[in-house]
Amino acid sequence: MKELTLFCFLLCQVFAFSNDSIFYTAGNHLISLDKTDCSLSKEVLSIKRDIEFCNEGYEDNYLSVTVDYTFYNPGSEENVLVAFEAISPYGNVDVYPVNGNHPYVADFSIEMNGVPIESKVSIVDEENYYRNGTINSKTVDEVIDEYFNENKTEFLYVYHFMASFKSGENKIKHTYRFLLSRTVSTNYNFDYLLTTAKQWANQKIDDFTLHIELGTRESFFIEKTFFSDPKEWNIEDGRMVSDSIKNRLQFITFSGGITFTTKDFVPAGELHVWSLKDLPYQDFDYTRQNLPKKITLFGEQSTLKTSVDETSFQILKGLPYAIRGYVFEEDFIQQYYLTQKWYRPNPSYKPALKDLTELEMDWLNEVKAK
């Protein structure tokens, strides 16, 4: 048996959430529980936020995952027990199993060489849960006992199936959905475990493609854990924004998604994606707050008129022109608006007061530094 990593268990311990935060689960690769010479020659990993399931609340924000694997078996046909490990939910959420299944993983399916395969689910609470050809599965009562802590679940759900790898090329298509997590500062966030792909015979992915599609007019960050060069990403309709924090990239997508491709991929870290909330402040602070695509004067959503410093003030008073796509000569103003998901540069637009609405003029006359 291959020695399994302890990562899934460690991950449950290192995520830090407040009482108002929720972790549902993380995406993960298929792994081999039996020793095998099969290698992972190609993978196309597609991650899409299901807009049809999204309401104004958080409960209906799903992430759909489709993974097209190509494996190569250099020897004769062999049967291998293959597994998908799903981390348990924790935080301010119902963490209990539903009929022995993960409560927030849905539509789990496996197709191998064009033939659907049924999978089983086991609950495990130890690192090396597969011994002597058997999964040491636990009952719900064994893991949900009198000492159970909802904020520190210490068991995994293992979806497993027997895969018959014929000699040569084999294809597996894997699909599932899970709810997007959130924290007090994020609209949504999710993680996908990439390093588990190294458990196949070649300990890498010969040809890897990752496609992420989170919706229209979305702004999100990806941590530089498994890549270093931003040029490895292709953006369909949007842009990448320079960020003062070097270990992350910010993407803004108007439509479509972003794609990462590489060869001989040996992932050094996991995929971490998050979208920040627009936090309310009394005064505009460009380092912490986004601006709206429409100026309003009334109600809780009225556009701010004061700023915490001169830089924020200069950025704020440019808002009516940024809405029209003005490209600012001052680099610090332009760089800020490039981070706003609604902003589309229009080099042909020349700013003029006559273009502004009466409401925008009233707002502009009241804008001031603190």
pLDDT tens across 16-38, in order?
A: 444 467 899 999 999 999 999 99
What CATH number does the domain containing 176 carry?
2.60.40.3680
Residues 112 and 17 in one domain: yes
Residues 59 and 166 in one domain: yes
For residue 229, being part of any structural domain is answered with: yes
DSSP conformation class of 98: B
CB 209 within 8 A of CB 45: yes
The Cα–Cα gap between 326 and 80 comes to 59
For residue 196, being part of any structural domain is answered with: yes
pLDDT tens across 331-341, in order?
A: 999 999 999 98
Q: Categorize the per-residue pLDDT at 279 as very low, low, confident or very high, splitting at 50, 70 and 90.
A: low
Question: What is the dihedral sign for C-alpha 240, 242, 243, 247?
Answer: positive
The residue segments making up the domain with residue 187 are 7-276
pLDDT above 80: residue 302: no
Q: Given this model, what pLDDT does residue 298 score?
A: 66
For residue 292, being part of any structural domain is answered with: no
The Cα–Cα gap between 58 and 154 comes to 25
Residues 248 and 333 in one domain: no
For residue 245, being part of any structural domain is answered with: yes
pLDDT above 90: residue 144: no
Q: Given this model, what pLDDT does residue 91 score?
A: 83
What CATH number does the domain containing 330 carry?
1.20.58.1690
Q: Given this model, what pLDDT does residue 360 score?
A: 92
Residues 250 and 340 in one domain: no
CB 11 within 8 A of CB 27: no
Q: Which residue would you say has higher pLDDT here, 75 or 3?
A: 75
**H helices within 245-357, ranges in order?**
310-316, 319-323, 331-338
Q: Given this model, what pLDDT does residue 196 score?
A: 95
Kindly state the greatest CA–CA separation across the chain: 79
The Cα–Cα gap between 288 and 279 comes to 8
Instruction: List CB contacts of 278: < 8 A, sequence separation 6 or more.
Output: 289, 290
Torsion of CA 268, 188, 64, 6, to 10 degrees: 40
The Cα–Cα gap between 165 and 72 comes to 8
Q: What is the mean pLDDT of residues 295-320?
A: 86
pLDDT above 50: residue 134: yes
Residues 90 and 129 in one domain: yes
Residues 214 and 323 in one domain: no
pLDDT tens across 167-209, in order?
A: 999 999 999 999 999 888 888 899 999 999 999 999 999 999 9
Q: Given this model, what pLDDT does residue 300 score?
A: 53
For residue 2, being part of any structural domain is answered with: no
Lowest mean pLDDT across 62-71, 119-128, 262-271, 272-281: 272-281
pLDDT above 60: residue 349: yes
Residues 181 and 226 in one domain: yes
Instruction: List CB contacts of 119: < 8 A, sequence separation 6 or more.
Output: 84, 108, 110, 159, 160, 161
The Cα–Cα gap between 312 and 358 comes to 23
Map residue 84 onto helix, strand or coil: strand
The Cα–Cα gap between 347 and 349 comes to 6
CB 319 within 8 A of CB 290: no
The DSSP bridge partners found for residue 70 are 42, 171
DSSP conformation class of 280: -
pTM, to two decimals: 0.83
Q: Given this model, what pLDDT does residue 26 score?
A: 95
Residues 156 and 32 in one domain: yes
Domain count, the chain: 2
Residues 12 and 103 in one domain: yes
For residue 288, being part of any structural domain is answered with: no
Query: Of all residues in the chain, what percent carry a pLDDT higher than 70?
Result: 89
pLDDT above 80: residue 328: yes
Residues 269 and 325 in one domain: no
pLDDT tens across 42-88, in order?
A: 999 999 998 654 444 444 578 999 999 999 999 999 999 999 999 99
Q: What is the mean pLDDT of residues 256-274?
A: 96
Residues 142 and 264 in one domain: yes
pLDDT above 80: residue 346: yes
The Cα–Cα gap between 35 and 201 comes to 8
Q: What length is written for the chain?
A: 370
Q: What is the mean pLDDT of residues 259-269?
A: 97
Torsion of CA 242, 246, 249, 250, to 10 degrees: -50
Residues 266 and 310 in one domain: no
* Phi and psi angles of residue 269, each rounded to the nearest 5 degrees, phi first: -155, 180
The Cα–Cα gap between 310 and 330 comes to 14
pLDDT above 70: residue 165: yes
For residue 284, being part of any structural domain is answered with: no
For residue 347, being part of any structural domain is answered with: yes
Q: Which amino acid is at 217?
A: R
Average pLDDT, the chain: 88
Q: What is the mean pLDDT of residues 311-328?
A: 95
Q: Given this model, what pLDDT does residue 183 score?
A: 86
